[in-house]
Structure 1
Amino acid sequence: MCFDAKSGVPRRPFLWQDNGMVQPAEFIPSTDDLVNNNRLFAKSFPDSGLPLAPKRHLAIVACMDSRMDIFQMLGLSHGDAHIIRNAGGVVTDDVIRSLVLSQRRLGTQEVILIHHTNCGLHNVDEDSFKHEIEDECGIRPWWALESFRDPYKSVTQNMKRLSMSPFIKHKMHIRGFVYDVTDGLLHEAL
């Protein structure tokens, strides 16, 4: 929970949308519903015999955006790929860490990066955003937000980060795409 830096009073978190900060609508926790859904899922769980390593030797780094169902949009099944998600689908140190384990311990050899149109990080002024958080919470974020103007350039930059990393073992099959949230199509970033 964040606290007002001056008064010490707890502040209600905001929701970030591509048009700026807005106060959240009525919030109703959903964890109990999700756990109940899991109980139903487990009754007919078909995938108990899957191996630890992904069947397609594939790792996907994608934005956390809820409009992208990675398995459905790529026609993947459980056990096909490692899916690594964060805000923007950015190649951070933690993504590198995850990919190193994925490649060196679990046999993945192909990496696909997926960013998308109408992303919440598009055109965000990083310094202003960090200042807003510092004003609200009393501490300035130390991490890079990784905002961008062009999703294609962002994908290309992140592909270069992977290609230049000494820790990434398999670099021959790294490709990047931008998912169009209006029509559901992937467009390759070259």
Structure 2
Amino acid sequence: MSATDHLIHANSVYVETFPGARPLRPKLALTIIECMDSRLDTFAALGLQIGDAHIIRNAGGLITDDVLRSLALSQRYLGTREVMIMHHTNCGMTGFDDVAFRAQLAADSGVEPGWDVPGFTDIEDQVRKSVSAVRSCGWIPHRDEVRGFVFDVAAGRITEVTV
């Protein structure tokens, strides 16, 4: 059985106890921006329930144009007001070579990517840069409550980064 087949089966079990639709707007008026890393169980780690917050995930939890687009929609149309940025220890983007990666993609496909995937070396510095990027974006109306954290993947603990 493939991984997708396993998930389809798990969904049929889930449907039997599905509680029904929830409100469109996140209950906590919160958006969390974080890495796509499969080790992050955001709901359990932060005591969240389905419907509490928007969660935007990408490689490294970096503040890209697409993240800002999603955050602008989250705030302007779906009522969120706070932003939690959560990077993590032992991230695959630490020391990532964007230039080599994009060159390999171009060599393999014949098409140069129109985007980049910048790596970083200092996780706390990257959190500060991410918070600054959100706070300085004019598309985002609620920028006072933007806070940054590092999640320790070995201990499950979050630590706030002073900005």
Normalised TM-score (structure 2): 0.95
Query: Aligned partners of 1:130 and 1:98: how far apart in 2?
Result: 24
Structure 1 residue 42 corresponds to structure 2 residue 5: no
Structure 1 residue 106 corresponds to structure 2 residue 71: no
Aligned counterpart for 2:51 among listed residues 79, 93, 115: 79
Structure 1 residue 182 corresponds to structure 2 residue 154: yes
**Percent of aligned positions that are identical:** 45
Unmatched tracts of structure 2, length 5 or more: none
2:130 is paired with a residue whose SS is helix
Provide runs of 4+ in structure 1 moved above 4 Å: none
Query: Aligned partners of 2:55 and 2:114: how far apart in 1?
Result: 26
Unmatched tracts of structure 1, length 5 or more: 1-27
Aligned counterpart for 1:136 among listed residues 96, 108, 115: 108
The residue that corresponds to 1:94 in the other structure is 66
Query: Aligned partners of 1:56 and 1:29: how far apart in 2?
Result: 36
Query: Aligned partners of 2:22 and 2:92: how far apart in 1?
Result: 35
Normalised TM-score (structure 1): 0.82
The residue that corresponds to 1:17 in the other structure is none
Q: What amino acid is the match of 2:25?
A: A
1:167 is paired with a residue whose SS is coil
Once the 2 structures are TM-superposed, how far is the Cα of residue 76 of structure 1 from its aligned partner? Answer: 0.2
The residue that corresponds to 1:166 in the other structure is 138
Is this contact kept in 1: 2:106–2:113, CA < 8 A?
A: yes
Count of aligned pairs between the two proteins: 162
Query: Aligned partners of 1:49 and 1:182: how far apart in 2?
Result: 35
Q: Which has the larger radius of gyration?
A: 1
Once the 2 structures are TM-superposed, how far is the Cα of residue 172 of structure 1 from its aligned partner? Answer: 1.1
Query: What's the CA shift string for 1:42-97, capped at 9, x where partnerless?
Result: 10012x14111010011000100000011111000011000110111111111111
Query: What's the CA shift string for 1:23-45, capped at 9, x where partnerless?
Result: xxxxx731111011011001001
The residue that corresponds to 2:6 in the other structure is 33
